[in-house]
Chains A and B, each alone.
Chain A
């Protein structure tokens, strides 16, 4: 099966996914994906559980267990398909994890100082932590004994310090209480003022805080729709994902 490869928009594209197929543990999860995120653009990724959303994010970030079997990933016009995670991070891709590992003895502050690299500025770290209301987490071991809300804040904190050009967010609005969603939403919106973004959401809450240009629907490892994200969310809320299985666009992709 082949898909049409969209022409590269070299002037304006932040991320281009070309005909991308991905396997995890020998099982194909993503099939021939194509899409472009333009500079300054925010894209939303919808899809039912186990449709491959997290796999796509992890593949873009370069985690080695996600094996690209076909196609390529371009970032700012450069083919990054074969690059290691840290090389991608240094080129300007950042990710907020949904379930990050705890690392004993490594303080949040230590990671922030690494993220700053040459921009050594202790005050910046404190200021961002204050904004996220998490100064007391700075000297804690990263993710060790953190609550769900603390994990979210800490992930966003690291992105704020890192200042990537493209941010990948995996369900930033899940498991966050009503007060914190406000904070999380505002911080993400601030991040997106200077970065492009690709955000996974189930609830769509994050759309109350950020302006997104495109919504994609991932279903059984295939991208079926590219619509206005609000419109897509409304459709999913109305019909659920069951409707997707009957959708001509999806059926066309299967053939």
Chain B
């Protein structure tokens, strides 16, 4: 059966997680947007939306490459560093026959109706590739922008870090301000080859009525490192994602940091699924979740399938309002002896003791709360270039302002 056949069969298959979404309620098509070779000429409000997710349209010189997709159209794609390839997946499929080996390879095409729908109605997506042994130190930025009301945006991305290479990606997904409704489906298949490293930082800033269904899977080969940072601190009607990282070579590493803030009316069901399939692999997932009235489900799963693997799940949740739900769902599965898997989770309000300690230094209760929350979200992320670290800090700080 071809991939297309599998997709046709799965087109009504609901996802086991997250509320079901009626795909027919969204329009599959829209008009094309114009290409902009100079992103600084975009409308101010569009640029502001991009900035909110760490994408800098005015100065692309600080980036190794820039890719912007608005609705279905690539409105910008440029790479300015040797060893980096940046194309739309449509172009890449035409250019490289071998891409078929990566296409629906990490993610199954018939995972659910969202993957199936993407196969049948796909509109572009990015192809980012670091050539063997090339270190792309400056971040590559990719922006997926939903501008047209009630559109279903369905994107298929491929990221490949060839052997010994290094790649830092910042991908921002956002909508036009006050978009009444929209659906974003992003399939992303990430391949970290032997000894390669990818840091993948994703910042989401949706409108309150958007439905979001990313479908991501990562394969990490021997000695490879995959580091994911996911930040979603703005309202979104429903978000469900459970990226799956398979460590398939010795000493491969996968690490996830998730920062989630759910305001009232938002449901975020976010997990990290990690499979340690070979000796010496390591995985870790750290989630910091805050609800100010919305619902967060923080999932984690680690499979220890080989000896001498080590995995850890951590979820810290703060409930800052009268209403709001945080559910931590950690799962560990050891299949052989010699695995070392652990988890810790804590959900609750801010400790009185901490508030009082700061108040004894003269901070008001509101100031003390803000300081503790800021600290809570201040996850020191290892392995990122300084520029990206400051970018993440900026994104978090700007979102924090809305919290108090």
The chain A residues found within 8 Å of chain B, CB to CB, are 61, 63-64, 84-86, 89-90, 94-95, 97, 100-101, 103-107, 110-111, 114-115, 117, 141, 158, 162
Q: How far is the CA of A107 from the CA of B375 in the complex (A)?
A: 8
Given contacts A90-B362, A104-B375, A106-B372, contact A114 B353 (CB under 8 A): no
Q: How far is the CB of B23 from chain A (nearest CB, A)?
A: 41
1/0 contact string of B318-343 vs chain A (CB within 8 Å): 00000000000000000000000000
Q: Which of B357, B359, B365 contacts A100 (CB 8 A)?
A: B357
Q: A94 — which chain B residues lie within 8 A by C-beta?
A: 360-361
Q: How far is the CA of A111 from the CA of B370 in the complex (A)?
A: 12
B363 interface contact, C-beta 8 A: yes
Q: How far is the CA of A158 from the CA of B357 in the complex (A)?
A: 11
- What are the 4 closest A-B residue pairs judged by CB atoms, nearest first? A105-B375, A106-B375, A105-B378, A89-B362
The chain B residues found within 8 Å of chain A, CB to CB, are 351, 353-354, 356-365, 367-368, 371-372, 374-379
Main DSSP-derived SS at the A contact region? mixed
Q: How far is the CA of A85 from the CA of B321 in the complex (A)?
A: 23
Beta-carbon contact of A103 and B367 below 8 Å: no
Chain B residue at minimum C-beta to C-beta distance from A102: B354
Q: A89 — which chain B residues lie within 8 A by C-beta?
A: 359-362
Between A84, A104, A141, the greatest number of chain B beta carbons within 10 A of the residue's beta carbon is seen for A104
Q: A141 — which chain B residues lie within 8 A by C-beta?
A: 375
Task: Give 17 CB contacts A-B under 8 Å.
Answer: A63-B356, A86-B359, A89-B362, A90-B362, A94-B361, A95-B360, A101-B354, A105-B376, A106-B358, A107-B375, A110-B375, A111-B358, A111-B371, A114-B363, A115-B361, A141-B375, A162-B362
In the complex, the number of residue pairs spanning A and B with C-beta atoms less than 8 Å apart equals 69
Q: B351 — which chain A residues lie within 8 A by C-beta?
A: 101
Q: How far is the CB of A13 from chain B (nearest CB, A)?
A: 22
Q: How far is the CB of B322 from chain A (nearest CB, A)?
A: 20
Q: How far is the CA of A103 from the CA of B375 in the complex (A)?
A: 8
Q: How far is the CB of A238 from chain B (nearest CB, A)?
A: 36
Q: How far is the CB of A217 from chain B (nearest CB, A)?
A: 26
Main DSSP-derived SS at the B contact region? helix
Given contacts A114-B367, A114-B371, contact A103 B354 (CB under 8 A): yes
Beta-carbon contact of B362 and A103 below 8 Å: no
Q: How far is the CB of A168 from chain B (nearest CB, A)?
A: 9
Q: How far is the CB of B229 from chain A (nearest CB, A)?
A: 16
Beta-carbon contact of A105 and B377 below 8 Å: yes
Q: How far is the CB of A99 from chain B (nearest CB, A)?
A: 10
Chain A residue at minimum C-beta to C-beta distance from B355: A85
Q: B362 — which chain A residues lie within 8 A by C-beta?
A: 86, 89-90, 114-115, 117, 162
Q: How far is the CB of B310 from chain A (nearest CB, A)?
A: 21
Q: A90 — which chain B residues lie within 8 A by C-beta?
A: 362
Chain B residue at minimum C-beta to C-beta distance from A93: B360
Q: How far is the CA of A97 from the CA of B353 in the complex (A)?
A: 12
Q: A85 — which chain B residues lie within 8 A by C-beta?
A: 356, 359-360
Q: How far is the CB of A75 from chain B (nearest CB, A)?
A: 14
Q: How far is the CA of A101 from the CA of B375 in the complex (A)?
A: 14
Q: B371 — which chain A residues lie within 8 A by C-beta?
A: 103, 106, 110-111, 114
Beta-carbon contact of B374 and A111 below 8 Å: no
Beta-carbon contact of A61 and B360 below 8 Å: yes
Q: A110 — which chain B residues lie within 8 A by C-beta?
A: 371, 375
